Structure formats: structure tokens, C-alpha cells
Structure 1
Amino acid sequence: MRLARIRRGPGERIELAALVEGEELVSLASVDGCADADPVAALAELGVERLAEHTARLAGGERLAAAELVFEPPVATCTKICCLALNYADHAAESGLEVPPEPVLFFKPTTALIGHGAVVRPPARTRHVEHEVELAVVIGHVAHGLTEENWQDAVAGYTVVNDMTARDLQLANIARNQPWDQFKGFDTFAPLGPYLVTRDEVPDPQNLELTLTVGGEVRQRANTKQMVFPLPRLLADLSDGMTLLPGDVIATGTMAGIAPVADGDVMHATVAGVGTLTNPVRWQST
């Protein structure tokens, strides 16, 4: 299933919706267990099969055109966005860095989250912002001490994230040996979506093509099989000493091709089989 949190217009209430075909969705707001518009909670309470049955039943009624909707991030509750750095060797190489011997983790605040179609608004303090397309894993239940054998039990599904980065500020802090998380975590710097795709629809998350385009130009392209640390290792490592909660997002790293965005650019971040996340950029004035 492909679940989304949508508004029928700006300021309208958020509804849980499911993609039925093409670019058409049906609202699940009338379904018991879906009123809170929380995809992760609905999956935990009803399961994929029952949600699919409700979606099929409602598909003969009102359908909503995706192009006419406002998309919110496909997680209603998120306590942390866990991001992996240098998890593709070619990105480490273009950054002039060695591939790390262990996963390298940083965090984004949940205030950075925006949905598909929302505007990325870099603050005036930065003049060089770059895109980073990544596969995102969404946690489905409380998880601690996962193993490389049972990690998928904790997964609600997958989505697309664009790890926006104020590169000029980040590099300045790196040169000073100071923390740089702040410059990954500005408001709007974690576009996420459009859909939460349940794990049954992604049989092999370790073999997905990723691309990012701006103005028709392919900036980034890779496959998740090129990760330095694959998903089983990442989930086991993250949950070793840190509890993962429902709705938490794990951004699994980006590949080579990071490049600056200009005012007015529109980014299309795609993970094959998961979706295309589209966000325009509008620079804030001084």
C-alpha cells in the first residue's frame, strides 16, 4: 500500500489517504483507526490487509486527484530523524573523505520535515545549499536491540527523503572541528514523501534505483545495493543502545552528485518503487 497524509486544500484538516491507481487517492478518514491520519498507527492497528480491504471498498466512491492535494510528511509522529553520513563510497570520494569503518550518524530535528510539493526555504545566512536524495526507512513499532536477521520486523515502510544541506556553513564548522548538525537541520531541510510505501511492496529495499534531477538534468544516480553499510547493519547498529519509536525516520545516505540549488529550482528525488518527491526552492532574502 501507498499511504499519504493529505489536505484537500491549504488549511484543511489532515486526512489519511491511500493511492488506488495512477494519481488518484481515496480518503480513509471514515475508517475506524484512521481518524488520526497517522499511517504508522493505522498499520499497527489494522494491518495492511484490512487497510487494503477498506481502500478497495472506498475506491468506487470519491477519488482525489493527487495534483489537487496538499501533501504532508507521511509520518504523523516522529521523535527523531536519524541520518547516515558517507554511506556511499562515491559520495565519500567526492567529499575528499575516507569511507568510515563504522556507520556515521547525525540527527535532524522534526521541525525540518515538509511534504511533497512544499517549498524548501534556505535562510539568508547560507548561500550554498545542496540536495541529497536518499531512501528513508520508517519505523513501525518500538524497537531496541534489533539484529541483522529481524530488523525488518521493526519497519512500517519506506519513503523518499531529500537531505538538504547548507554546505558552506557545514564545511566552515568542519574546518573549525565544531558540530555541523545545525546546518542540516534548518526548517524545510527534510522533505519527505509523498507516500509511506508498506514493506510488502518493497521486497528488496537493497536493490532500488535512486535519482535526483533539477531542470531535467540528472544530478545523482545510484542503487541502494551500493550502500557501504546495508539496511540490516544500519538498523542493528542504530537500535544498539538507542530505542527507535514508531514514526522515526532513518535516512540511509546519499551518493555522488551533490550540487547546489538556485532560487526557483525544482528538485525531483526518486526512489524506484517508492515514489518521486518534488520540492521547489525559494531563497529567503536578507
Structure 2
Amino acid sequence: MKLLRYGETGSEKPGMLDADGNLRDLSGIVDDISGDVLSDAGLDKLRAVDPASLPLVEGNPRLGPCVGGIGKFCCIGLNYSDHAAETGAKIPDHPILFMKANSAIVGPNDTVMMPRGSTNTDWEVELGVVIGTAAKYVSAENALDHVAGYCVINDVSERHFQTQLSGNWTKGKSCDTFGPTGPWLVTRDEVADPQKLAMHLDVNGKRMQTGNTNTMIFTVAQIIEHLSGLFTLQPGDVISTGTPPGVGMGMKPNPVYLKKGDVMELSIEGLGQQRQTVGQDA
């Protein structure tokens, strides 16, 4: 299934795509794509619904983040061997974890606003993992059983804030609008192998990132095992699993960063596409 949320910011309704790609309204079945809806039982309930019986949503409404009420937004840094190489970073011994503020979360096509004073805002296409059932001290062997599904995330980053303002990476990762999520949640039964997904990102029509989740240093299962040994992963928590090479910071001989009016377009195989125009806070 492809589950999504649509409508104005803060008033999104739950929906699903039918076999023809039409948007169907789920608000008569569930209140939101969140919480218990993401459990195996909750998703089975939705699978039992005939999409043709649901109201057809007309027009082209705004798409919101594909998951509502996100609890933790966990992010993994330097998790692609080829991305680590382009930045000159050492391969980490354990997953590098930072958190992204929930106030960064926006829809897949919402405007990304560079904060005041930003000159080093960068792009990062990433595989998002949505937790469906609570996970604590799980092994890699059964970690994927706790996944509701997968989605596209743009881990937008302000590199000066991230590296030069002291503290940790969160400062450059948590600016408002720096977490476009969606367009939809693709349930795990439709993703045969999360470690074999092609991905790319374009800026102004130019291909910047081309990668595949098969170059992850730590797999999705290994990441869940590691994080669940630190804290409980709850339904609706989201994990952004790292980015392949081609980020602006890694461009040679000089880094390339976003500017007002730029357009980012990014996609992951089977998970849909995002498109954001870049704005600038006054």
C-alpha cells in the first residue's frame, strides 16, 4: 500500500493511492496515518478495504508529511561508503546518530526556507524508515518486522550551522522546513529489499546525487538493532538512514550550495518523488 496525508498544513487527512494512482480518502476509516494504524494489525485493516469503495479526492491537493504525529526523527550520518569517501571522513565504527527537530518536518513538495544568514544550505536524498511496532533490544534478524514502511526524505542541511556553530550536527539539520518527508509511506511488504533501492537528486535539472542503498555502511536492520539498544523506537518514529555521494559540500574543487529560487527534485526507486523550491527567510 501507498499511504499518504493531504490537505492544508496542520489539517491533513489520511489517504491512500489506488491501483491506478488515484488519491482515495481514508478519513472515514482512520483518523490519521499514525500510531496504531502503523502496526501490523492496523495495516492489515487498511489492506482489507477496497480502494474503489473510498471517496475519490478530486484535484491536486497539497501532500503533507506521509506520517502524522512523528515522535522521534532519528538521522544517521556518514552511512554510505561512497559519501564518506567524498567528504574524506573515516568510516564510522558505529552508526552516527543525530536528531532532527520535528518542527523541520514538512510535506514533500513544500518550500524549503533557508534560515537567516544561511550561505551553505545543502541537499541530501535519504531513505526514510517508519517504525510500526515498538522496538527495544531487537536483533538485526527480526528488526525489519518492526518497520511499517519506507519513504523519501530530503535531509536538508546548513553546513555552516552544522560544523561551525559548536555543539553537534543538530543545529544545521533542524531549521524549519529542513525535513521534507513523503510523498507516501510504502508499506514494507511492497519493498522486497530496502538495501537494493536506486536513488537520485537533481538541482535545477542537473543530476547531483546518484546512489543506491546497497552502499550503506550499516543496513536498515543494523541501524534498528543499534538504536533499539539505546532507546525504545515507538510507532511513528522515523529514521533517516544517510545519503549517497553528490552533496554540495563534497563538490570539487569548490562546494556548491543552494540559493533562493533553486529547485530540488529527488526520488527513490518505488517510493515516489519530491520537488521543493528554495526560499529565504527575511
TM-score when normalising by structure 1: 0.90
Moved more, 249-258 or 164-173: 164-173
| SS in structure 1 of the partner of residue 98 of structure 2 | strand
CA drift at 1:12: 8.4
Q: 2:48 aligned to 47, 53, 70, which one?
A: 53
Matched positions, count: 274
Question: What is the identity, as a one-letter code, of the residue corresponding to 1:5?
Answer: R
Does the C-alpha gap of structure 1 residues 145 and 45 become closer, same or farther in structure 2, counting only changes over 3 Å?
closer
Q: Distance in 2 between matches of 1:149 and 1:158?
A: 18
CA distance in 2, matches of 1:42, 1:57: 20
Q: 1:231 aligns with which of 220, 225, 230?
A: 220
Q: Tell me, which stretches of 5 or more residues in structure 2 are unaligned?
A: 249-256
Give 1:218's aligned amino acid. R
Aligned counterpart in structure 2 of residue 107 of structure 1, from 96, 99, 103: 99
Task: Identify which of 52, 75, 82 aligns with 1:90.
Answer: 82
CA distance in 2, matches of 1:284, 1:47: 40
Which amino acid letter does the alignment assign opposite residue 200 of structure 1? D
- Between the aligned partners of 1:12 and 1:62, the Cα distance in structure 2 is 21
Post-superposition CA distance 1:215-248 (Å, at most 9, x none): 2211101110100111111110010031111111
Partner of residue 39, structure 2: 44
**Cα shift readout 1:184-210 (whole Å, capped 9, x = no counterpart):** 111111110010110011011110001
In 2, Cα distance between equivalents of 1:39 and 1:81: 14
On the 8 A contact 2:105/2:181 being kept in 1, the answer is yes
Distance 2:178 2:11 in 1: 24
Match of 2:155 among 133, 157, 163: 163
Unaligned runs of 5+ in 1: none
**Cα 1:229/1:11, change in 2 over 3 Å:** closer
Contact preservation (8 Å) 2:34, 2:235 = no
Q: Which of 267, 277, 281 is matched with 2:278 structurally?
A: 281
Deviates most, 239-248 or 276-285: 276-285
Task: Write the deviation string for residues 32-70 of structure 1: whole angstroms up to 9, x where unpaired.
Answer: xx0x222453243754443133243425x53434xx111
How much does 1:30 deviate?
A: 1.2
Alpha-carbon offset, residue 21 of structure 1: 3.8
CA distance in 2: counterparts of 1:262 and 1:208, whole angstroms:
29
SS of alignment partner, residue 64 of structure 1: coil
| Superimposed CA distance per residue, residues 77-102 of structure 1 (whole angstroms, 9 cap, x where no aligned partner) | 22211111100122112222111111
Distance 2:69 2:9 in 1: 19
Picking from 110, 115, 119, the partner of 1:118 is 110
- The equivalent residue for 2:195 is 206
> 2: distance between equivalents of 1:271 and 1:171?
28
Q: 1:145 maps to which residue?
A: 137
Per the alignment, do residues 56 and 110 of structure 1 end up closer, same or farther by CA in structure 2, a change over 3 Å counting? Answer: same
What do you get for the CA RMSD once the two structures are aligned? 1.8
Q: Tell me what 2:251 maps to.
A: none
Q: Displacement of 1:141 after TM fit?
A: 1.6
Query: Sequence identity of aligned pairs in percent?
Result: 37
Separation of aligned partners in 1, 2:141 and 2:9: 43
Q: Which amino acid aligns with 1:27?
A: D
Aligned pair partner of 2:15 in 10, 14, 17? 17
Residue number in structure 2 paired with 1:181: 170
Mean Cα deviation higher: 191-200 or 163-172: 163-172
Distance 1:45 1:90 in 2: 35
Distance 1:43 1:238, change over 3 A: closer
Q: Is the 8 Å Cα contact of residues 28 and 55 (structure 1) preserved in structure 2?
A: no
In structure 1, the residue matched to 2:234 is 245
1:240-273 CA distance string (max 9 Å, x none): 0311111111000001110222211121121101
Task: Provide the rounded CA distance (Å) in 1 between the counterparts of 2:270 and 2:3.
Answer: 14
Match of 2:27 in 1: 29
